[in-house]
Amino acid sequence: MKRLTMALLFLAIAAGGYGAWWWWQQQGNSASAAERKGGKGTKGGRGGELVVKAAPVVAKPMPVLIEAVGTVEPEHSVQVRAQVSGVLQSVLFKEGDKVRPGQLLFQIDPRTFEASHRQAQAQHARDQAQLENAKVQQERLEPLLKREFITRQEFDVAVTSTKSLEATVAADRAQVEQARIQLEFTRIHAPIGGRTGALAVKPGNLVPTAGGGVPLVTINSTDPILVSFSIPERQLEEIRRYQNEKDMRIEILPDRSGPPAAEGKLVFIDNTITAQTGTVLLKTSVDNSSEVLWPGQFVNVRIVLKIEPEAVVAPESAVQPGQDGSFVYLIDPENRVQVQPVKVARQIGGEVVIAAGVKPGDQVITEIPQALQPGARVRLAGTEGKGVPEKGQGKKGKGGKKEGESKSETRPEGKAS
């Protein structure tokens, strides 16, 4: 009997514990369901709304472009070398100066070349005098030959002497000209206009001739200036199709996120594709009067092929990367979040051109909260007190009454139940 009582007591305790556990599970499930339905839980109700920042998708003109990385190079570059050897007397410019064509840059000691020039002039004058004398002798002998006072041989000797001296004078004239040119080479002028580089030889040093040593200075033209860049061969056909269109232009951006520093037209397409890289070399000439671009500088190149008048554009911050491609968080008319896959056509600065997935007027979230989930109810920042009605406030029906009001509140006085 005692054992039976103890068994019944244990069964009663076990049944009570199971009942308590079952009641606790039911309460938890009910609370979770309420939260999911947006009832009294904190996630789905008014208190669980996330405040987000959003921007509308817009339609506006946007360029169709190709981007590349280019190198700035001078349109003309000259290494200035000495054509005669001698001591460098003076440098008539400063390193880095901008020089004009024909400007005097260097002066080499000219004394040796001046002496050679004077010597050639003297030799020419001597031979010229001898030639004049030979011509006079020939003129004297010619009438004597006609009268047969001299032999033909004597007259031929006089003629030969005259012709020989004529050739000598011509050679002397060439020597004088050569000596003059050598003297002029001691004054070195700028062959082109541009900006000078570093000096390789300082005044007082012996200047080597053009065959040896480094150039005295290098001059690079900086206005206009060239930008060379390469594109994949698959884009060459598109470039050639648009190159004669008036809308096509090439923008040069030292900073990719900044505005273009210069703009120009395509001036060169290489006649072969580089087999190792599968790219083709192109060049554009741009105005550089303010010298924003510098030879050797790496720049971003933007080839604008045409302008798309009604491109669908969203902020860059709204487009998110995913395993299956890009997507945006779209706010539907009920202020709930939807994940919307999109196809990105191109990005220009802080804007993304969308080829498919959204349309103008759609609201996309630009700052993604950590707790944001698909289907969550959101409220735009700065719209407190607007949008979704407060909890317990239904929509007004006909007659200005709110949905959810009891029938007793709508009955006339005296007929309340």
Domains of the chain: 46-62+310-382 (2.40.420.20), 66-75+220-308 (2.40.30.170), 81-109+186-213 (2.40.50.100), 110-184 (1.10.287.470)
> Could you tell me the pLDDT band of residue 17, with boundaries at 50, 70 and 90?
low
The pLDDT tens digits of the residues spanning 145-186 come to 788 887 888 888 888 988 999 999 999 999 999 999 999 999
Looking at residues 372-385, what average pLDDT do you find? 77
The pLDDT tens digits of the residues spanning 316-356 come to 888 989 888 899 998 888 888 989 899 998 888 788 999 89
| Rounded (10°) CA dihedral 45, 46, 50, 52 | 140
Q: What residues does 229 pair with on adjacent strands?
A: 70, 282
Q: Tokens representing 22?
A: 């079952």
| Rounded (10°) CA dihedral 264, 270, 273, 279 | -20
The pLDDT tens digits of the residues spanning 235-276 come to 999 899 888 888 788 999 988 777 888 999 999 999 999 999
Q: Measured between alpha carbons, how far is 280 from 237 in angstroms, rounded to an integer?
A: 11
- The residues near 357 (Cβ < 8 Å, ≥ 6 apart) are 327, 328, 340, 341, 342, 343
Q: In what order do the strands lie in the sheet with 337-341?
A: 337-341, 327-331, 363-367, 50-56, 378-380
Task: Give the pairing type, strands 50-56 and 378-380.
Answer: parallel
> Could you tell me the pLDDT band of residue 44, with boundaries at 50, 70 and 90?
very low
Residues 228 and 234: beta-carbon distance below 8 Å? no
Q: Measured between alpha carbons, how far is 262 from 8 in angstroms, rounded to an integer?
A: 96
Half-sphere exposure of 356 (CA within 13 A, CB side): 2
User: DSSP letter at 412?
Assistant: P
Q: Of 241, 194, 224, 240, which is closest to residue 284 (Cα–Cα)? A: 224
Integer-rounded Cα radius of gyration of the chain: 47
pTM: 0.62
Greater confidence, 415 or 292?
Answer: 292
- pLDDT-above-90 percentage for the chain: 41
Q: Of 335, 337, 260, which is closest to residue 302 (Cα–Cα)? A: 260
